Structure 1
């Protein structure tokens, strides 16, 4: 089983963005564009003899940006899919009063074998 926090961080690191696992930056110096991610759930996909042989992991990646994030979203899609993740869901989160960044939500599934 892989360490999702470490693996996704290393996978997205070449995109040269600030990357945060299951948190958002705070303080007065928030980057103009950054990435957050978390594991939404992990479910047994294949079991034999009471042993889990494969886990389906649903990963959510959020792109936060004050400007157009189209290119970064494309880069994330390509990076995740080339690493074996399947995109299952994607949407633009509505910007609300007080939000400083636009937010694109992408969800990917990965099948982790033991």
Structure 2
């Protein structure tokens, strides 16, 4: 079983952006672009004789940017898929008054074998 926080952080390292697990940056030093992620759920994917052999993990990656993030999103999808994640859905979160960044949500499934 992998440490999902370390695995996703390492996978996204080539973006050269700050990557935050299950939190958002605060304060005055928030970058123009950054990435947050969390594990939405984990459930058994393969069991036998009351023993789990594979876990299905649903991971949400949020891309935050003050400018167009199309190329960054494409890079993230390629990095995640190269690391064994399968994209299940993606969508833009509507920007509202007072929001400082645009937000793109990407969801991936990862099958973690024991």
Compute the TM-score of the two structures, normalised by the length of structure 1. Answer: 0.98
Paired residues in the alignment total 114
In structure 2, distance between residues paired with 1:19 and 1:113: 25
Instruction: Give the superposition deviation at 1:67.
Output: 0.2
**Pairwise mapping of residues 1-114 of structure 1 onto structure 2 (< 5 A)?**
1-114=1-114
Gaps of 5+ in 2: none
Ranges of 4+ aligned residues in structure 1 off by more than 6 Å: none
Residues 63-103 of structure 1: CA deviation (Å, up to 9, x unaligned): 00000001110000000111111100100001112110000
> Mind listing any 5+ residue stretches in structure 1 that lack a counterpart?
none
Q: 2-side partners of 1:104 and 1:87: how far apart?
A: 13
Partners of 1:55 and 1:63 lie apart in 2 by 25
Find the aligned partners of 1:74 and 1:42 in 2 and give their Cα distance. Answer: 25
Alpha-carbon shift at residue 35 of structure 1 (Å): 0.3
CA RMSD of aligned residues (A): 0.5
Cα distance in structure 2, aligned partners of 1:9 and 1:22 = 12
Q: What is the rounded CA distance, in whole Å, between the counterparts of 2:29 and 2:100 in structure 1?
A: 12
Separation of aligned partners in 2, 1:9 and 1:95:
26
In 2, the alpha carbon distance for the partners of 1:47 and 1:63 equals 34
